[in-house]
Structure 1
Amino acid sequence: MGTHPHKERVAEYRRTQNEVAAYYDRLSTDLVARLVGEQQTTPDEIRQQAAAASPTSPGSPTSSSPCTTSTWSPHLRRLCRPPTVERSLLRRTRVPRMTAGDDLLRRIETTPALAELLIWPGDFDIERRDPVEELRLPSGAPLTPIAGDASGATYFLCGTPGTTRPVLYADSEGSATLVAADLVEAVTLIAAYPYWHDLLHDRLHGHAIGEVVEELEEDMCEDHPDYPAARAELLRLLGVTPPTPEDAVARLRASAARTVPGFLPIAMLDEGEISYTLL
């Protein structure tokens, strides 16, 4: 005795329904995985994927997609429509943009040799991320501590991740200054001139920049004979060319001039708020 035609239609319906569900599971999984993974999915690619999922789209899959059978009932065609949830998810999902500064910070955090050379001779230690006091910026922009030095000072990134964030240096005595426009510039200056603080102070007054740098270099070599080799290795690992002393001083001064008023931090103490002074 043969199978009842009604039962055959029900079985065929269920097979088709399972194929449709599996198809969209694969589609949504692929798109979401690409959105949150290393490879960014462009809006054009998302539109192309969505178009391929439509049973009436010219770019729809043929033999590989269950959504191409023209004889399906209206109910089955409704099953083939891309789910609203997935489309809404694709519209809302955004992969944060990785800036050069973000990439450099991640490289420092994952490269012990680089991190060690930044500790010395750079005096830039990513393990020192506890400021001596809680600070905020007048603008309300986020402050993210990323490193500290042996004196108790802290380096901060100013702004939200995924944007170009200036680097702020706040010492333990209530003074602060912007060091650079972003982390790449800051680390380059720190690696090339670990005594960069001295290039902002009165030591330059009445003296040529080159002469002052030469004197500071001699002091470093006298105290630490292996300084030239360590500095050269640090610059090599970073893959940067050190700026000239004149260029370094110009950059430091330009950043310092931008500190007031928006980037001069405010200490939030129990007795009230106190503004830092310019370093």
Structure 2
Amino acid sequence: MPTLLTRIGAHPEAAEFLRWPGDFELDRADHVEPVHLASGARLEGFAGDGTGGTFFFCGEGGDERPILYADSEGSAGLIAVGLPELLRLLFVLPWWRDCPSFTVAESRAGAAEFLGDMPDLADRRDRAAAALELDLPTESEVLQRLRERSVQAGQDYLLVLTSEGTVYEPLFGV
């Protein structure tokens, strides 16, 4: 059975939506600098974004592993547990980085900007999610899950700049 990452590549419309507005590209898996988890657990970059950020699987296993996002400015945080949860975040809130307080008001402001440029965003999102056989939660559910993941991260998901031994700042200030 193909992995979810393989299925993304097999569905051009899903891959294109994830590329933009999701800002998630499977061919950008290398981080800008050598990093590791303070816990010593395995860290595997598997995708990136257009600004130099990287999505990492943490620990051993497959698509079900926790996912840490690190930007190119020295901030990192746990954002999902498992690839399906990450994709739901990217489909429902491609503007998730603009929601540091995890509020619906922040999300709606981000949505307004995207919808101004892409009025068919919801239709494209729904087709892309259906191609990957993903059901989509509500905006509030996604924000709540993102808040929970960011808060629960703790010591197990501290990202360290290997060359200096310094810990990345929290992604959301939590």
| 1:117-128 paired onto structure 2 within 5 Å | 117-128=17-28
Is structure 2 residue 57 aligned with structure 1 residue 157? yes
Alpha-carbon offset, residue 176 of structure 1 = 0.5
CA distance in 2, matches of 1:148, 1:247: 24
Structure 2 counterpart of 1:240, one-letter code: L
The structure 2 residue matched to 1:141, chosen from 41, 45, 64, is 41
Structure 1 counterpart of 2:14, one-letter code: L
Q: Is the 8 A contact 1:176 1:265 kept in 2?
A: yes
- Show the counterpart of 2:116: 222
- Show the counterpart of 1:236: 130
Alpha-carbon offset, residue 267 of structure 1 = 0.9
Q: RMSD across aligned C-alpha pairs, in angstroms?
A: 2.0
- Structure 1, gaps ≥5 residues long: 1-37, 39-101
| 1:1-279 paired onto structure 2 within 5 Å | 103-162=3-62, 164-199=64-99, 201-202=100-101, 204=103, 209=104, 211-269=105-163, 272-279=164-171
Structure ranking higher in strand proportion: 2
Q: How many equivalent residue pairs?
A: 171
Alpha-carbon offset, residue 186 of structure 1 = 0.7
- Could you tell me the TM-score, scaled by structure 1's length? 0.57
Percent of aligned pairs with the same amino acid: 37
Alpha-carbon offset, residue 117 of structure 1 = 1.9
Q: Is the 8 A contact 2:98 2:107 kept in 1?
A: no
Alpha-carbon offset, residue 224 of structure 1 = 2.5
Q: Is the 8 A contact 1:169 1:178 kept in 2?
A: yes
Alpha-carbon offset, residue 144 of structure 1 = 0.9
- Could you tell me the TM-score, scaled by structure 2's length? 0.88
Structure 2 counterpart of 1:132, one-letter code: V
Alpha-carbon offset, residue 179 of structure 1 = 0.8
Alpha-carbon offset, residue 238 of structure 1 = 2.3
Structure 2 counterpart of 1:127, one-letter code: D
- Structure 2, gaps ≥5 residues long: none
User: Deviating runs (4+, > 4 A) in structure 1?
Assistant: none
Inter-CA distance 176–221: structure 2 relative to 1 (3 Å threshold): same
